[in-house]
Structure 1
Amino acid sequence: MSTIAIVGAGPQLGQAIGRRFAAEGFDVALIARNRTTLEGVADSLSGAGVRAEVFPADVTDRPALHAALTAAEERLGPIDVLEYSPAPAPADLRRAPLVEATKVTVDSVLDQLDLYLLGGVAAVQHVLPGMLERGTGTVLVTSGAGSGPIIAPHVANVQIATGGMRNWILNLHAALAGTGVYAAHVAIAAFIGQGGHDSQPQTLADGYWRLHTERTEAELLVQDLPADYLEQGLADKFVES
């Protein structure tokens, strides 16, 4: 049995990805801060006959993240697919508010780096050595499309962090050529579940499965935003997982 670990798992994208991969025979490890939310996702998946286990951890707490991934491996076996899609909670945004490009400061960027880039590095580096040793594995890292494919100057401090994460994954994709391990970035310019067909969680989950099976693209860009997105000054959707 194969295992997918979804870091930042929530009731929309994370649940849909779990269900999509489970339909192909995967067990599902769910990792996020809120145990109650995780248990709700696990219950939904289990009701559909999926083996889903919860491992609560905050990605900014590196020892806790490492412990959660280790526990998932002990319970479900080696992690064959890692999907990383952290989403800020309201408390995060109060502590580290969104900042427009001309007002970026060092302090406004640090918390975003911790959540997106450094948490992503920690999660990937936990699973990558085992994948390389086995000669197989998939790493899928998700952010809002302001990470690079689309410019979003009204949330520039976030995009500094997600842009760094995107750049690293695109380079990782190239560096892993010929190893049997595959990495790709998913850039979502959409209000998940609130727009058209492309924004629906199950449609997005199908895209993740295609990346995993076809293993060719370095990046998947999903666009389903209102035409006046920037003019309205809407906050970047990050990824409501």
Structure 2
Amino acid sequence: MPVIAIVGAGPGLGIQIAHAFGRKGFAVAMVARNAAKLDALVAELHDKGIDAAGFVGDINKPDTITEAFAAIKQRYGKVDVLEYSPADPTLHAVGVLDVDPGTLQPQIDFYIGGALHTVRQVAADMIAAKSGTILITTGGGSITPVPALANINIAAAGLRNWTLNLHNELKPHNIYVAHIAISAWIGAGHPGAAPDVIAACYPELYETRAEPELHYVALDK
């Protein structure tokens, strides 16, 4: 059974990505900070007959991510698909004229630093197997910046750049890497911004391996 690890799993997009891959026959390893919330997500997947388990890990604490992936590997073996989409609402956005090192560095540490460490947990096994998929999600500001979210946009744009470089580096090893930028207020009422609608794009990317980037836009009323 193939395995997807979802880092930053939550009750919105994360659980819908889990359902989308679970319906394709994947076992789902969900990584997040809160054990109680993970238990609820896993129970929802079990109710649908999907093999799933939760693993506590905090992007801000790299050792916990290492431990979570060691536990995933012990339970399921090699991770076939990694999806990375953590968010931290305590990291406040600032406008473009207010960005300074103090407001920018935490965003870089969280989004970019977290991705660097997380991908290292699966890359070596994927290279050895000559197979695997890595899907990195950011907000649409990584492509179309929003002045009020300037510090987040800088970190997201850096993560986008690294992901596209990773695509080029790992493609010769038959590993597919893609960046997904989401320009949508997820779950805010626009039909195209419903979490399950967006989530459907993820297994499609996995199956088609068509492009290294998808900009998903659902902003028009």
Measured after TM superposition, the shift of residue 195 of structure 1 is 3.2
Q: Which residue of 2 aligns with 1:99?
A: 94
- 1-side partners of 2:148 and 2:202: how far apart? 28
Q: Which residue of 1 aligns with 2:117?
A: 122
Residue among 116, 126, 132 paired with 1:131: 126
Measured after TM superposition, the shift of residue 159 of structure 1 is 1.0
Kept in 2: contact 1:60–1:115 (CA 8 A) = yes
Q: Which residue of 2 aligns with 1:163?
A: 157
Kept in 2: contact 1:195–1:225 (CA 8 A) = no
- 2-side partners of 1:38 and 1:177: how far apart? 33
Measured after TM superposition, the shift of residue 123 of structure 1 is 0.5
Measured after TM superposition, the shift of residue 60 of structure 1 is 1.2
Kept in 2: contact 1:17–1:208 (CA 8 A) = yes
SS in 2 for 1:176: helix
SS in 2 for 1:67: helix
Measured after TM superposition, the shift of residue 196 of structure 1 is 2.6
Q: Please state if 1:194 is matched with 2:215.
A: no
Kept in 1: contact 2:9–2:85 (CA 8 A) = yes
The structure 1 segments of at least 4 consecutive aligned residues displaced by more than 4 Å after TM superposition are none
TM alignment of 1:201-212, pairs within 5 A? 201-212=195-206
Amino acid at match of 1:34: N
Amino acid at match of 1:29: A
Q: Which of the pair has the greater relative contact order for Cα pairs under 8 Å at 6+ separation?
A: 1
Amino acid at match of 2:186: I
Deviations 1:195-215 (A, max 9, x none): 333211121111001110111
Kept in 2: contact 1:198–1:222 (CA 8 A) = no
- 2-side partners of 1:136 and 1:197: how far apart? 34
SS in 2 for 1:163: helix
Measured after TM superposition, the shift of residue 226 of structure 1 is 5.0
- 1-side partners of 2:57 and 2:201: how far apart? 26
Deviations 1:126-180 (A, max 9, x none): 10110010000000000101012x1211111111111110000011112222311
Q: Please state if 1:13 is matched with 2:13.
A: yes
Task: Give the structure-1-normalised TM-score.
Answer: 0.89
- 2-side partners of 1:68 and 1:194: how far apart? 32
Cα-Cα RMSD:
1.2
For structure 1, the 5+ residue unaligned runs are 228-241
Q: Please state if 1:145 is matched with 2:140.
A: yes
- 1-side partners of 2:137 and 2:171: how far apart? 20
Kept in 1: contact 2:190–2:219 (CA 8 A) = no
Measured after TM superposition, the shift of residue 220 of structure 1 is 0.9
Measured after TM superposition, the shift of residue 31 of structure 1 is 0.3
Amino acid at match of 2:46: S
Larger deviation, residues 194-203 vs 16-25: 194-203
**Equivalent pairs: percent with the same residue?**
39
TM alignment of 1:169-188, pairs within 5 A? 169-188=163-182
Deviations 1:64-111 (A, max 9, x none): 11110110111111100000001113xx23xxx211111110111111
